[in-house]
Amino acid sequence: MTSPDSHVRPLGGVRVVEVSSFVATPLCGLTLAQLGAEVIRVDPIGGAADVNRWPLTDDGTTSIYWTGLNKGKKSVTADLRSPDGQALVQRLVTESGSGGGILVTNAGGRDWMSHDTLAALRPDVITLELLGGSDGTPAVDYTVNAGLGFPLITGPLDHDGPVNHVLPAWDVVCGLYAALAITAAVRHREQTGVGSRIRLPLADTALSIAGTLGYLTEPQVNSQSRPATGNDVYGTYGTDVVTADGDRFMLVALTGRHFRDLVRITGTEAVVDSLQQSLGVDFSAESDRFTHRAVLNALFGKWFADHSTDEVAAALAGSSVLSQRYRSFDEVVASGELARNPLFAELDQPGIGRYLAAGLPASFDGQQYFVGPAVPLGADTP
């Protein structure tokens, strides 16, 4: 699985050494590899703690998780507790050409691969250390999220207690921030000849996003945090509905046009006009739609409950309402849309077989970037 590049990829000529495990750091390396960098993942002999992480193939021999995050990388193993193994990592980082001298790791706190140690061997070295807590204490996505507030406003309104997310969102965001930071540091070094010491805590990534989106600003300026809203979208009109067949759709009416179309397809014009007059509101305003969402949910919900899934899908398709039927991962794959999307191409992954794997989501000049399969652990060890 290769990309028929007509030009050098954006990070062609860049070489990155990755000493990592789990999600954020490997995702950083994968993203850099998709952009054209040569990425060498270094693991302890036998693999890091994530080498057999679930999901596994049915025979239990290969980690689908590990191979997915390590596509397109070289793999080196070494005894990282021995002087020889440590010296090998130092050479991989510092003795490469002008595009090298880059280390990304979440295994910090080791003097032998600290920024100062590597900078003594190569002054223009770039190091990025991913940490857990803001103070450097250990933390993972799920503990960071628990301490931030999101689980307490996630889940059904009648559920008493926190609801964790399934997607490791902060790991993903942190990994992408790490790739951006490395790209910026490479640009800075090209302009100035100076390396960079980059520190990126997972907790700070989550705090930054939560602050930017207002979750941490509301308690400061309004003296109270955002309430839980279940499946209703905060601050606008969006909710889930159930069809006569028992299927669920997510609906979002962000604009006045979306809302008017939702009223039209449900045949509720007269009732909605009457509601506006009796409540003294204007449903063309997002705030009014959100404030009175309970009565609107009941009104629209009846129409969806009285119509089949096919009827609902046809009506929504003929409107501007933002919508999607809730589907399982099995349904997404069975639909055939992966094969129709140029983001996916067939990958022959040793230990797993052939399947459709995603490339870089961004295309450059109409070109999608793919990388090859994950090589066996230690395949490139000198």
Q: Do 28 and 172 sit in the same domain of this protein?
A: yes
Q: Do 65 and 206 sit in the same domain of this protein?
A: yes
**For residue 1, is pLDDT > 90?**
no
Q: Could you tell me the residue range of the domain that residue 253 belongs to?
A: 248-325
DSSP state letter for 330: H
Reported as a single tens digit per residue, the pLDDT across 153-165 is 999 999 999 999 9
**Per-residue b/e over 105-135, b at no fewer than 16 CB within 10 Å?**
bbbbeeeebbbebbbeebebbbbbbbbbeee
Give catalytic residue positions: 171
Q: What is the residue-averaged pLDDT of the chain? A: 96
- Identify the CA nearest to 134 among candidates 202, 72, 33, 82: 202
DSSP state letter for 242: E
Give φ, ψ of 222 to 5 degrees. -110, -5
Could you tell me which residues come within 8 angstroms of residue 161 by beta carbon, excluding any fewer than 6 positions away?
none
Determine, yes or no, domain membership for 368: no
The pLDDT of residue 5 is: 52
The domain that holds 105 is classified in CATH as 3.40.50.10540
> Could you count the other beta carbons within 10 Å of the beta carbon of residue 100?
22
- Identify the CA nearest to 103 among candidates 131, 136, 129, 75: 129
Cα–Cα distance between 22 and 43 in angstroms, integer? 12
pTM above 0.85, yes or no: yes
Q: How many CA atoms lie within 13 A of 193 on its CB side?
A: 0
Determine, yes or no, domain membership for 236: no
Reported as a single tens digit per residue, the pLDDT across 59-107 is 999 999 999 999 999 999 999 999 999 999 999 999 989 999 999 999 9
Reported as a single tens digit per residue, the pLDDT across 208-257 is 999 999 999 999 999 999 999 999 999 999 999 999 999 999 999 999 99
Asked if 5 and 365 touch (Cβ cutoff 8 Å), the reply is: no
> Could you count the other beta carbons within 10 Å of the beta carbon of residue 296?
25
Percentage of the chain exceeding pLDDT 90: 97
Q: Do 101 and 191 sit in the same domain of this protein?
A: yes
